[in-house]
Amino acid sequence: MSKTVVLVEDLDIVREGLKALLGAYPAFTIVGEAPDGIQALKIVEKHMPDIVLMDLTLPLMDGTEAIREIKRRCERTKVLALTAHKKDSLIYRTLSAGADGYVLKNVSSDILVQAMETVLSGRRYISPEISELLIEDFLRHGRRESGSLLDLLSDREKQVLKLVAEGHGNKMIADKLCISHKTVEKHKANLKRKLGAASTAELVSFAIEHGLTVTP
């Protein structure tokens, strides 16, 4: 059975090119397309595709925010960022939003399909050129104050992490941030995944190490 795909790209000519390209691969079926982030959310919720190819520079709602919302609403759907941008901060922000891969638009059709197959298999894919940039950034700055891990967290996740480290339970965190208990649990699960933490105690240790707790 072919995998379903949604294309999110604001330029008509690029979307048409992607449709033509993927049309040569029977393993994929395009079920929807959107020129902006708002429409992308509606189409993804309607079709629940296996994978979304997501441009990052979009009107109404940018790509990183759209990725975050897609991952929140449709956890099963994989999202592959397809962009021309190489800026470190955007790469970190995109991965933080939940993207399963980051691919540059100058790749060949075979590489794009390889990237799609990789993320569909449950692994991450980052263009080699982007991997080199991230490695260079790490070597240039070292671990900095957070080893870049804090850069992978959203503002809300940092708030939750800080409150966890200060000893607040899920109910108290939910009340303080005006979110549901279930949302708190989801943020904590995302924090453990992004930080490689196996327990709440390890989250607390990370927060203390990086100065996120209140100073007595």
Q: Give the residue, 195 or 76, on which the prediction is more confident.
A: 76
Is 60 exceeded by the pLDDT of residue 181?
yes
Contact 115, 103 (CB under 8 A): yes
Question: What strands, in cross-sheet order, belong to the sheet with 101-104?
Answer: 28-34, 3-8, 51-54, 78-83, 101-104, 125-126
Average pLDDT over residues 202-212: 77
Average pLDDT over residues 104-110: 92
What's the mean pLDDT when you consider all of the chain?
86
Using H for helix, E for strand and C for coil, what is the string for 24-70?
CCCCEEEEEEECCHHHHHHHHHHHCCCEEEECCCCCCCCHHHHHHHH
User: Which residue type sits at 26?
Assistant: P
Comparing 32-41, 116-125, 171-180, 200-209, which segment has the lowest mean pLDDT?
Answer: 200-209
Residues 18-31: tens digit of each pLDDT: 999 999 999 999 99
